[in-house]
Chains A and B, each alone.
Chain A
Amino acid sequence: MNHQTERLYLYPVWIRIWHMANALLCLTLIITGLSIQFSNPETIVKFNAAVSVHNIAGIILSVSYGIFFIGNLFTPNGAYYVIPVKGFLDRLQKQFIYYTVGLFKKADAPFPVNEESKFNPLQQVTYVVLMYGFVPFVILSGWGLLYPEITVKSFFGFSGLDLTDLFHIVAGFAISIIMCVHVYFCTIGKNPTSNFKSMINGFHESH
């Protein structure tokens, strides 16, 4: 049984479509965002085009996030994002030690993927912070920049628009970093490409 490959259908169609759309939108937003941030006449994407594409991608991302949000409110998938408080730090530590030590000693993963829990504790925390922290934050601040008239004029003496701008950039940067780490961690599977295949065919492979 241990040597046989187990195939678990973990990623339903709507999640795979959403995930793919989300990935493409985030990549587009990061590239155009950087072009706007470091704008000069020599940027790869022209400033005007970067702004338009960034705005359109941002609006589509808002809709796609809405689908994710509502989906996780009402479908069983939302349960994967619930972090059990009891023993939380211990489990986090266990997973961290696995990634830094155990992995190299070919030890078994402390929290193998099953139908009850799709994410290990470290993944769970990262995804909750990302999807319920940074992403809604970057979307809200993005709308604030798209319609500066609705943004609070001043906040404790600071310009509201400047703060919104700063928060948008910081949150966008945090998302970019998490995305880099996310893509790398996806190579830690049955083999380096199996997790990428999972997000196409829906089946998680483990051994």
Chain B
Amino acid sequence: MIHKANIRPAWVVLVLLMLFTLAFTLVKTSDTPTATAIQTEQEKPSKIDLSKFKNAVENENCLKCHGQSKYAYENSESKKTVTKRMYTELVLSRDVFYVSNHREFKCTDCHSEDYGTFPHAGNLRMEAKANCIDCHGGDEKYAKFKFEQIETEFQASVHSEKHSADFTCWMCHNAHTYKINARTNDNLKETIIYDNMICLNCHADLKNYQLLTDKAKPNILKKHEWLPNQASHFTNVRCIECHAKNDDTLVVAHHIMPKKFAVRKCESCHSKNSILYASLYKHQVSEKIQKEGIVKGLLMGDATTIGPDKSNTLNIISLGIFGLTILVIAIHAALRIKK
């Protein structure tokens, strides 16, 4: 009868559950939010030390008007100073340009010297924009970025095929603001969001989308309704992982495919042969192993997929335990029948 006064296991579990919930709440509140914590380039401190850049003084001739949303000039007829708004797409923020990859450039390296006169001549707006391959093609110094391969992939992509000449590198990469990301950023989540924003810039923004087509913009959330745990997938996987032709030699695949070829099978990613290990994730892991050694880099790395069939060791161990259990049961049963 004494044991009736003992504590029931259910009570112990109840107390443990309450403690667990408390601990969980504490851990959760200290968790950093992921999607909102990414600083946009505009929010960064605006004090740029222009003396550090050799062409900054000359570039100020342009940026004194194009560096902000308004500019002023003297009307030669009325002799009055007129203030006008600058067209948004003609504004280039110093904060953004001087942290971009092309920050050491002079405006006139790419644009005509004739822009030196104001008002600018009308025919200047016919000036052709240089594409990536125009400068980076065939250059040994940039060989590791594989611009030629990117160009070939891009030419084969649905963007290039459907929109031909209208669709250039500029649609996704503005040479004034472009900043290398996937190769240099250690934060996988930031890279994923950065890359996905490139797609969403048109696919989630009607005014940009309709620059190229009169079609109604498809609702991305609706189109991906079939995808389980949509929010997690959208913040943890890049669009191109499923929508571009898989290529493990490029960090950012450029062969975007028509939607009927998009990956729809769970096991394409959630398996031992995950396609995710082909590009960014493989790159991240190999970088991490190089930097932090195999133990920390591989085992503690966050570049993994959750899901089935991942650990072969675990499969073998569990099969062993299961086999042993059945064997013991069989022997026991055989002995019982014999007796």
Contact = CB atoms under 8 A, between A and B. Distances in A.
A104 B339 contact: yes
A38 B308 contact: yes
Contact of A165 (B11, B231, B307, B332): B307
Given A39-B309, A72-B10, A177-B321, A79 B4 contact: yes
B327 to A, nearest CB: 12
Contacts of B336: 103-104, 188
Interface string A154-168: 100111011001100
A181 B229 contact: no
Contacts of A131: 9
Interface stretch (B204-212, B243-251, B265-273): B265-273
A105 to B, nearest CB: 8
Contacts of A72: 8-10
A104 B333 CA distance: 11
Contact of B6 (A47, A84, A173): A84
Contact of A47 (B10, B24, B266): B266
Contacts of A36: 308
B9 A132 contact: yes
Contacts of B307: 165
A47 B309 CA distance: 13
Interface residues of A, number: 50
Q: Is the interface of A mostly helix, strand, loop or mixed?
A: helix
A157 B298 CA distance: 12
A161 B4 contact: no
B10 A148 contact: no
B18 to A, nearest CB: 13
B316 interface: no
Interface in A153-191: 153-154, 157-159, 161-162, 165-166, 169, 173, 176-177, 180-181, 184, 187-188
A128 B271 contact: no
Contacts, number: 107
B30 to A, nearest CB: 10
B322 A81 contact: no
B266 A69 contact: no
B3 A154 contact: no
Contact of B27 (A132, A152, A161, A162): A152
Interface in B299-333: 300, 302, 304, 306-309, 314, 318, 321-322, 325-326, 329, 332-333
Interface of B: 2-4, 6-14, 17, 20, 24, 27-28, 31-32, 34, 228-229, 231-232, 266-267, 270-271, 300, 302, 304, 306-309, 314, 318, 321-322, 325-326, 329, 332-333, 335-336, 339
Given A39-B267, A81-B10, A85-B6, 16 more contacts: A39-B308, A41-B267, A51-B228, A69-B13, A82-B6, A82-B7, A103-B336, A128-B9, A132-B13, A148-B229, A152-B31, A153-B32, A157-B300, A169-B314, A177-B322, A180-B329
List the 6 shortest-distance A-B pairs measured between CB atoms, nearest first: A84-B3, A132-B9, A82-B6, A157-B300, A78-B8, A37-B308
